[in-house]
Amino acid sequence: MERPVVLCFLDYYLPGFRAGGPTRTIANLVDTLGDEIDFRIVTRDRDCGDQKPYEGVRIDGWNTVGKAKVFYASPAKLSMRGLREVIRGTPHDAVYLNSFMSPRMTSIPLMLRRLKQVPNRPWIIAPRGELAMSALTQKAAKKRAYLAAAKMSGLYEGLVWQASAPHEAADIRRVMGARAADIVVAPDLPRPARDADFGRVDLSAGADRPLKLVFLGRIAPVKNLDFLLEVLSTVRRDVELTIYGLRDVPEYWSRCESLMSALPANVRASYAGGVAPESVLEAFAGHDLFVFPSRGENFGHVVLESLTAGTPVLVSDQTPWRQEGDGALEVLPLGDKTLWRDAIERWATLDRGEWQSRHENALEFARDYIENRAGTAESRELFFEAIGVPVETVPTAPLRLRPAPSMPSRVAAALQMLPASEAEPELALASAPRSVA
């Protein structure tokens, strides 16, 4: 059977990495299902925050990137007319949106759909955590206005909604009500495992030295670095914290710097800049414990990356991750800083044997998750069911929270894949690690 074509829209894709989770999520999806689904990705021609387009790619044309075809759109192309041309000119069986509020990559395509300016196909939308309460409280007035206008205009009627976890499904239903009649839980996929990823473990923990903590993520309020620094100001053990991340919000970083300068003598914190994607596992493996008090994560790829490096994780309960893994993954609520202080001090007292056990448990948990619990079956069924193609062998069905309305059938088999032009650049990005800091 010919691979169905899914036309995917997201603001940033490879070789970009600064946008973090959504870029990694789609790259991992392509790596995992790209042999079964023909992904055509429409994205910006530059990374988040960059003023210049990528070098070595064809702008406003299709490029082969791993198992996908990618259209790097120039700013001029990101208009109603430009995106209408792209959608009309790309035979496809479904459209896949990867943001709820992206003005270019969600709102414009949905307006074209509403105005019947593009072919009638199934549309899938993944809000990527944007409907969580913690996300909606940021720039709240602007988001309330957008939600009201979007609901009145009917932009979001008749979509299939992808939630990465049951808690996100609840967020979607709470915000969208009956407009979200069809919600499917299909977890974000990790990068397929490679043996080289595992075993990067520093077993020097338990020696006569400070506890080595790491924080890796964007330096932004949602990642909650200031909370961690406030906790560390009360810790009585010797601790070293290394901070990796892109400083997205200058005023927020200034607050974090002030907290760092006020830490007691037994706690030392340093900023080590960003981390290239290929160096993330190495950065984690050089530390004893990844502390991640995030205010909200749709998935939290960095949690799995830390475990893959053999580094245990202390994470907030505002992510999909739950405590398991024989001590490799500890989950705490954000309401009580004392709990976090006590946990960090407890980790600081582990002996060498206990650290080795925690490292090994982290590696075992990561391998088991990637190989057995990654949600591949749910993602496969999400797309094939929306398109109308029966999935004959799916290990587990997705958790459908409400009965789905009948979906349009697959378009005629006569629709052919767009041929790869000889002029298309072949970008060697398929095997690059997916991360950002």
53-76 pLDDT, tens digit per residue, is: 999 999 999 999 999 999 999 999
Long-range contacts of 395-400 (CB under 8 A, 24+ apart): 398/184, 398/185, 398/186, 399/166, 399/184, 399/185, 400/182, 400/183, 400/184, 400/185
Residues of the chain with pLDDT under 50: 196, 393-425, 428-437
Distance of CA 299 to the CA centre of its chain: 6
Q: Which residue ranges make up each domain of the chain? A: 5-189+375-427, 195-372
What's residue 374's pLDDT? 63
Same fold, 5-189+375-427 and 195-372: yes
Name which CATH class applies to 5-189+375-427: alpha beta
Determine the topology of domain 195-372 in CATH: Rossmann fold (3.40.50)
Confirm whether pTM is higher than 0.75.
no
What's residue 434's pLDDT? 38
What's residue 430's pLDDT? 39
Buried b (16+ CB within 10 A) or exposed e, 355-378: bbebbbbbbbbbbebbeeebbbbb
